[in-house]
């Protein structure tokens, strides 16, 4: 069930992103770089969460697909900017050249800016039946989860560690905070988006916030474990980067076994949060297992 749903989501999100990126008024170089950044790759786990959380409420699937596309634009822009020489200096992403390596730095900066902006254009401009109030709620949540108190904030804390060695001895709480912003916030947004689209009751909304928060944590523990235990061909990007850089991660601070135990506990918490939805949440339960046990 889960793998069919994920494959379906990948296809429909790819198609919708392609439609949004097909814009004759945009300079060709920007369109090409945006397409390079967005199309033809990625697990699409964040947009999948939007589609599945919206499905819990039988919310308008067309609206959910636009919100899913918007979220993926934010995720992809963040990769384009993160890969820049001044940031992580990565030349390879999903087995192909990063945008700055394929084009140049200025094109990557602008394509990232354009994708970030397009996310908000999509939510405001979606042809779906989304009410203005829902568009505003989604815009606000996405802006906060992707901006200074969300992803960008987490990226800053991460680079302060990498580039400036701050703080000197990061605690587990510091790492956890960093990751909750850097990767957690967008994953949580994917789950909360469904609650907004579906007019969730407060209890259901809270359940999706908790699920999203736990899922983001599980995602990050699994990521840190993969950096230590995965092999580059399967993972699709360089591994052992953190260890080589002497970077503090959940795994370096906790040890591999404790991290695995924690991951199982966090996955269980994610699943428990879905109780309120009963059988309807079967696919999201499988998603928690997928995120926790992934090998890439």
Q: Which is nearer to its own copies, 51 or 110 (CB)?
A: 110
* C-alpha closest to that of 33 among 119, 110, 85: 110
The nearest distance, CB 39 to its own copies, in angstroms, is 15
Q: How many residues bind its own copies (CB under 8 A)?
A: 53
Task: Count other C-beta atoms under 10 Å from residue 73's C-beta.
Answer: 28
46 binds its own copies (CB under 8 A): no
Of positions 125, 165, 167, 255, contacts its own copies by CB under 8 A: 125
Considering only the stretches 61-69, 155-163, 184-192, 284-292, report the one whose residues sit in contact with its own copies under the rule CB under 8 A. Answer: 155-163
Q: Which is nearer to its own copies, 94 or 163 (CB)?
A: 163
Rg of the Cα atoms in the chain: 18
Of positions 62, 129, 140, 172, contacts its own copies by CB under 8 A: 140
65 binds its own copies (CB under 8 A): no
Compute φ and ψ for 97, nearest 5 degrees. Answer: -60, 140
The nearest distance, CB 42 to its own copies, in angstroms, is 20
Lay out the site mask for its own copies across 3-32 (x = CB under 8 A, - = otherwise): --------------------x-xxx-xxx-
Of positions 39, 61, 102, 159, contacts its own copies by CB under 8 A: 159
Q: Which residue has the tokens 């786990």?
A: 45
Of positions 15, 91, 148, 241, contacts its own copies by CB under 8 A: 148
Q: Can you spell out the DSSP letters for 169-235? A: S--HHHHHHHHIIIIIHHHHHHHHHHHHHTT--HHHHHHHHHHHHHHHHHHHHHHHHHHHH--HHHH
* Contact yes or no for 109/29 (Cβ under 8 A): no
Considering only the stretches 6-14, 141-149, 249-257, 272-280, report the one whose residues sit in contact with its own copies under the rule CB under 8 A. Answer: 141-149
* CA atoms of 78 and 158, how far apart (whole Å): 13
189 binds its own copies (CB under 8 A): no
The token pair at 266 is: 């966090």
165 binds its own copies (CB under 8 A): no
* CA atoms of 13 and 27, how far apart (whole Å): 23
127 binds its own copies (CB under 8 A): no
* C-alpha closest to that of 5 among 206, 275, 222, 284: 284
152 binds its own copies (CB under 8 A): yes
* CA atoms of 144 and 37, how far apart (whole Å): 23
Lay out the site mask for its own copies across 85-124 (x = CB under 8 A, - = otherwise): -xx----------------xxxx-xx-xxx-xxx-xx-xx
Task: Count other C-beta atoms under 10 Å from residue 187's C-beta.
Answer: 27
Q: Which residue has the tokens 């988006």?
A: 193
In the complex, which residues of this chain contact its own copies (CB under 8 A)?
23, 25-27, 29-31, 34, 77, 81, 84, 86-87, 104-107, 109-110, 112-114, 116-118, 120-121, 123-125, 131-133, 135-137, 139-140, 142-144, 146-149, 152-153, 155-157, 159-160, 163
């Amino acid at each position: 069930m889960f793998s069919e749903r994920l494959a379906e989501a990948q296809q429909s999100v790819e198609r919708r992103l392609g439609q949004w990126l097909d814009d004759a008024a945009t300079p060709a170089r920007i369109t090409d770089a945006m397409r390079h950044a967005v199309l033809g790759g990625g697990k699409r786990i964040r947009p999948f969460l939007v589609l599945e959380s919206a499905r819990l409420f039988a919310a308008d699937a067309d609206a959910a697909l636009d919100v899913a596309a918007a979220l993926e634009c934010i995720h992809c822009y963040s990769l384009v900017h993160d890969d820049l020489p001044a940031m992580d200096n990565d030349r390879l992403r999903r087995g192909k050249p990063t945008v700055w390596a394929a084009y140049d730095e200025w094109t990557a900066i602008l394509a990232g800016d354009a994708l970030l902006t397009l996310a908000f254009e999509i939510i405001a401009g979606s042809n779906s039946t989304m009410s203005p109030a829902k568009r505003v709620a989604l815009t606000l949540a996405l802006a906060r989860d992707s901006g200074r108190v969300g992803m960008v904030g987490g990226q800053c804390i991460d680079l302060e560690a990498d580039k400036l060695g701050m703080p000197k001895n990061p605690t587990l709480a510091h790492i956890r905070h960093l990751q909750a912003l850097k990767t957690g916030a967008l994953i949580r947004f994917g789950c909360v988006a469904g609650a907004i689209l579906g007019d969730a009751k407060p209890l259901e909304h809270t359940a999706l916030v908790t699920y999203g928060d736990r899922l983001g944590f599980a995602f990050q523990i699994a990521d840190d474990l993969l950096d230590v235990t995965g092999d580059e061909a399967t993972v699709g990007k360089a591994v052992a980067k953190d260890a080589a850089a002497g970077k503090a991660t959940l795994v370096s601070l906790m040890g591999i076994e404790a991290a695995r135990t924690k991951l199982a506990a966090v996955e269980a918490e994610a699943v428990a949060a879905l109780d309120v939805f009963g059988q309807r949440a079967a696919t999201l339960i499988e998603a928690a297992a997928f995120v926790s046990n992934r090998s890439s």
